[in-house]
Amino acid sequence: MKEFKNVILYDWVDFFKSLCIAIDLIGQNKENRNQNLKVKAKNVFGETHAIYTYPEIDPFSFIYTLAQRNTTNQKNSVFQSCIDVFELETKLPTDWYFPTPTPQTKSLFYNKGKYTDSNGNTFSVDILWDLFSEVVNDKNLDNNNFKDVLSIVNVGVVKFTQTLFLINAKKFLPIDERTTAILPNSINPTKEINKSGLPKYQEFLNFYNKTFPECYSYEINLFLSQFTGNGKQISLKKSFCQVSTMVDGQNKKDYYDDFIRNNAVRAGSSGEHKTRGGEYPLEKVFDGEVVLVRRGTKNMAGIGVIIDNEYLEDGYDDDKAIKIVWINKSQRKLNNALGDWTGFNIATPNTIQKVKEVYKDTFDLIDLLTKSNSSAISNKNTPDNMSNENLNQILYGPPGTGKTYKLQNEFFEKFTLKESSLSRDQFLENLVSELSWWQVISIALFDLETAKVNEIYDHELIKIKEKLSTSNTVRPTIWGQLQRHTILDCSYVNVKERSEPLYFSKDKDSNWTIDNELLHQYYPEALDILESIQNFTGNEGIVIKNYDFVTFHQSFSYEDFIEGIKPKLEDGETELNFEIKDGIFKKLCLKAEADPDSNYAIFIDEINRGNVSAIFGELITLIEEDKRLGAKNELRIKLPYSKREFGVPSNLYIIGTMNTADRSVEALDTALRRRFCFVEIMPDLKVVEDKNFKDYSRVQIMKIINQRIELLLDRNYTLGHSYFIKDSFENSFKNEIIPLLQEYFYNDCGKIGLVLGKGFVREKQISNTNNFIFADFDTKNDVDIVKSYELIPFDEIDFEIAIETLLA
């Protein structure tokens, strides 16, 4: 959680404002502004930084690069350098909570020194200077400049709007994962702003301003980043306290301006009110609770949410306060006066109701964000249509009833997302999950250009790969992969066994680099992947599958499903090695655990064809709902090969299909049946209602055939509706129905005849004289010839007459 003690909220805003004014003054001198700002950049960031190495420089790149230096080791020195170099009359911020690009983010607004869009169009640096001046001076923005800057390679909506926010934090707001969590799921702000430019961005700003009346953008941003989205730090609570701005008592001095200026409320005061202040329930309110701020008994000053209660430590003191984030600063008059004159207390139901009457908009927002399913607000990827489904279920029934069809056409869609609905973190997790260690390391090092192992380990892609992996030895893994793929003539790597591609190199100081030309040659996809990460906006045309589909069979094993030792032969190698490799179920479990706000599923077709007990192994207990990760009776077990603890996440569905004609439900052992919900899917006559063959109803044909099968066998062997709906009904009989009946009755054509009739089955013609049948033997005339039957060859069948006979 963000630490707000000893922090002056939003003092970073004044810092950036002062800096941007100074840069704007430099920009007034058009002839020399590039050179003058480059000199400043050199003194702030150093002459080796990329911002100093290109001919031109722009103020957006400077500001975003500075924001990137918001790390423990960098922020004080770099920001102090800004104060010194620009001679700013401002102090070093204490509040560092503003958009901070990761070290891997491309902070510059140009690509290799050029301002070009994806179509190769080149823009002048002047448009960035002009737009910067408009933002700093709070002027109307030029939409053409806005769209041009937005279109520059390596910019994008997130980066652009974050920089606008840093330049003018009162007016603009970043459109990123933090701020978009309260938008309806159907809205894709990035896509809409990319399409329409400034007017659409202004629409979103208007929405936020209406949602948070009279609040500045920096207040809105802090609230959304702390209380909503996947990265929320504090849980908003429907607990209310009320405080009066008249700290010293009713009708005395009004401290409203102090409350607004300090972003804090307080109770009591020095002298005579100190004792009384100590009696207030100041130590009974906590972060995330709502503060109703009143001015007297008839007027309200606004509503805030607690982020730091200083009274919790050592009780009351005159210098302490309760820090809040304002979510509504509009002053409103109550319909009826409050009967409560107390300076501070837990709000009574009567007080809450009276305030709610005039602040309905804000109470609606609080209700929205505090619902028990509030995760759905921040998570746009959890299909609510799975809320009533069992975590473990098996669809079972006779063949042809549409079990697999139901999976593909109903369930698959529930676990399929559009890329545009993903957060950046979810996009990265999905991307990295498909990459091997050497591929992720290659992309990370290409991004970092030069790095030691620890710096590579800190790269966001490596961190995600670690989260998706069961490896206990990530640093050694990085080290090993680097050495294994090092170029042969590197003097500082002595490993003999190497594998293609070979493009890493190490120097005497243990700095690793990657040969870009060789990377282009052997792994060109790395460049596209990195670009997609840096410019991630979400493509509505790309779908993400949060599921895997597998068919069980007799040779399918625990090693295929969970984990096992598998042979490994690298390209160009002759020696066979072995490695512990994750199975399909374990991989999906790791993805689901890393993305708890989305639902995942594994679909197992023909689940009863495999040895289910052996395939699931010890995990058979872990799939129970109350044994899942995060559940009441959570269980983890140590896997036999990797020796890693493992559990099944609560957001992973296991859905199987089972053909009852192939093997009955009872064939599954009791342990499995106890852990699954069984959903029967039987032949559906309604599906066939509008289908006929000539003058004959296919429904009637299907009904009669199944009645006869049920009498001869049982209902598990009836024929599903899929056999009766195809256009070529004759082909269905020839290639599907008759072969299936042959299997059911073990080629006993007499029984098949009882089902289909004489139009399809006939008596086999055999000579009545045993002399022509049997060998010459004493008993040949003692044998009674039993009637036998055969299927009529299909080319001899009059299909229409055969159907008529079947129905007779």
Does residue 94 sit within a domain?
yes
pLDDT single digits (tens) 166-212: 999 999 999 988 888 888 766 888 889 998 999 999 999 999 999 99
Q: Last residue of some domain: 167, 202, 227?
A: 227
Give the pLDDT score at 652: 94
Two tokens at 567? 């042979």
Two tokens at 378? 């921040």
pLDDT single digits (tens) 435-483: 889 999 999 999 888 899 988 998 889 988 888 876 678 888 999 999 9
Does residue 602 sit within a domain?
yes
pLDDT over 50 at 124, yes or no: yes
Give the pLDDT score at 380: 35
Give the pLDDT score at 666: 46
Amino acid at 380: K
pLDDT over 90 at 524, yes or no: no
In sequence order, the β-bridge partners of residue 132 are: none
**DSSP H or E segment with residue 416:** strand 416-418
Q: Last residue of some domain: 227, 255, 290?
A: 227
107, 221: one domain: yes
Q: How many CB atoms lie within 10 A of CB 663?
A: 14
24, 149: one domain: yes
**DSSP H or E segment with residue 323:** strand 322-328
pLDDT over 70 at 384, yes or no: no
Contact by Cβ (8 Å): 465, 587: no
Angle at 478 between CA 473 and CA 480, to 5 degrees: 90
Reported confidence tier of residue 799, pLDDT bands at 50, 70, 90: very high
Reported confidence tier of residue 383, pLDDT bands at 50, 70, 90: very low
Cis status of the peptide bond prior to 501, with omega within 30 of 0:
yes
292, 362: one domain: yes
Nearest to 399 by CA among 695, 743, 163, 128: 743
pLDDT single digits (tens) 525-560: 888 888 778 776 655 556 778 899 999 988 999 999
Q: Average pLDDT in the 248-258 region?
A: 85
Q: What are the Cα distances from residue 147, in Å, to 74, 122, 169, 347, 592?
A: 33, 13, 20, 49, 38
Q: How far is Cα 653 from Cα 582, in angstroms, rounded to an integer? A: 19
Helices and strands: H and E segment counts in the chain: 35, 25
pLDDT over 70 at 372, yes or no: no
165, 300: one domain: no
Give the pLDDT score at 270: 40
Give the pLDDT score at 281: 83
Higher pLDDT: 292 or 594? It is 292
pTM score: 0.53
Reported confidence tier of residue 724, pLDDT bands at 50, 70, 90: very high
How far is C-alpha 611 from the chain's CA centre? Answer: 33
- Where b means 16+ CB within 10 Å and e means fewer, 216-255 reads bbbbbbbbbbbbbbbebebebbeebbbbbbbbbeeeeebb
The answer for residues whose C-beta is within 8 angstroms of residue 163's C-beta and 6 or more apart is 60, 63, 64, 67, 109
pLDDT over 90 at 513, yes or no: yes
Total count of domains within the chain:
5
Q: Rounded to 5 degrees, what are φ and ψ at 638?
A: -90, 120
Does residue 402 sit within a domain?
no
Q: Which domain holds residue 708?
A: 691-807
Give the pLDDT score at 768: 61
Q: What are the Cα distances from residue 194, in Å, to 12, 59, 114?
A: 29, 22, 21
22, 158: one domain: yes
Q: How far is Cα 179 from Cα 183, in angstroms, rounded to an integer? A: 8
Q: Rounded to 5 degrees, what are φ and ψ at 169?
A: -80, -10
Name the percent of the chain lying above pLDDT 90. Answer: 49
Q: Which of 343-347, 557-561, 700-704, 799-803 is the least confident region?
A: 343-347
Higher pLDDT: 770 or 389? It is 389
Pick left, alpha or beta for residue 168 (phi over 0 → left; psi -120 to 50 → alpha; otherwise beta).
beta
Does residue 574 sit within a domain?
yes
The answer for residues whose C-beta is within 8 angstroms of residue 736's C-beta and 6 or more apart is 400, 723
CATH of the domain at 637: 3.40.50
Give the pLDDT score at 163: 96
Q: Last residue of some domain: 374, 406, 433?
A: 374
Does residue 361 sit within a domain?
yes
Give the pLDDT score at 379: 35
Give the pLDDT score at 595: 80
Q: Average pLDDT in the 75-79 region?
A: 89
Does residue 6 sit within a domain?
no
Give the pLDDT score at 539: 55
pLDDT over 50 at 520, yes or no: yes
Q: Which of 367-376, 449-458, 501-510, 576-585 is the least confident region?
A: 367-376
Name the percent of the chain lying above pLDDT 70. Answer: 89
pLDDT single digits (tens) 605-633: 999 888 888 999 889 899 998 899 888 78
Q: Which of 82-86, 299-303, 310-314, 588-592 is the least confident region?
A: 310-314
pLDDT over 50 at 567, yes or no: yes
Does residue 404 sit within a domain?
no
465, 361: one domain: no
pLDDT over 50 at 74, yes or no: yes
Strands 652-659 and 600-605: parallel
Q: Which of 60-69, 99-108, 494-503 is the least confident region?
A: 99-108
Give the pLDDT score at 541: 55
pLDDT over 50 at 159, yes or no: yes
pLDDT single digits (tens) 736-751: 999 999 999 999 999 9
Strands 392-397 and 652-659: parallel
**DSSP H or E segment with residue 37:** helix 33-45
The answer for residues whose C-beta is within 8 angstroms of residue 468's C-beta and 6 or more apart is 429, 432, 433, 590, 591, 594
Q: How many CB atoms lie within 10 A of CB 112?
A: 10
615, 763: one domain: no
Give the pLDDT score at 462: 92
589, 708: one domain: no
Cis status of the peptide bond prior to 101, with omega within 30 of 0:
no
Give the pLDDT score at 377: 31
Q: How far is Cα 44 from Cα 34, in angstroms, rounded to an integer? A: 15
Give the pLDDT score at 103: 67
Give the pLDDT score at 87: 95
Query: What DSSP letter does each residue of 327-378 carry, written as one string?
Result: EE---EE-SS--S---SEEEPPHHHHHHHHHH-HHHHHHHHHHHSTTTHHHH
HSE-up (13 A, CA, CB side) for residue 187? 16
Strands 696-697 and 692-693: antiparallel
617, 666: one domain: yes
Contact by Cβ (8 Å): 428, 461: yes
3 state DSSP class of 570:
coil
92, 191: one domain: yes
Reported confidence tier of residue 276, pLDDT bands at 50, 70, 90: very low
187, 61: one domain: yes
pLDDT single digits (tens) 629-682: 888 788 999 999 888 889 999 999 999 999 888 754 445 677 777 888 888 999
CATH of the domain at 252: 3.10.590
Higher pLDDT: 389 or 393? It is 393
**Rg (the chain; Cα; Å):** 36
Does residue 451 sit within a domain?
yes
189, 42: one domain: yes
Question: Mean pLDDT, the chain, as a whole number?
Answer: 86
Q: Average pLDDT in the 15-33 region?
A: 95
Higher pLDDT: 141 or 55? It is 141
Contact by Cβ (8 Å): 398, 718: yes
Q: How far is Cα 139 from Cα 141, in angstroms, rounded to an integer? A: 6
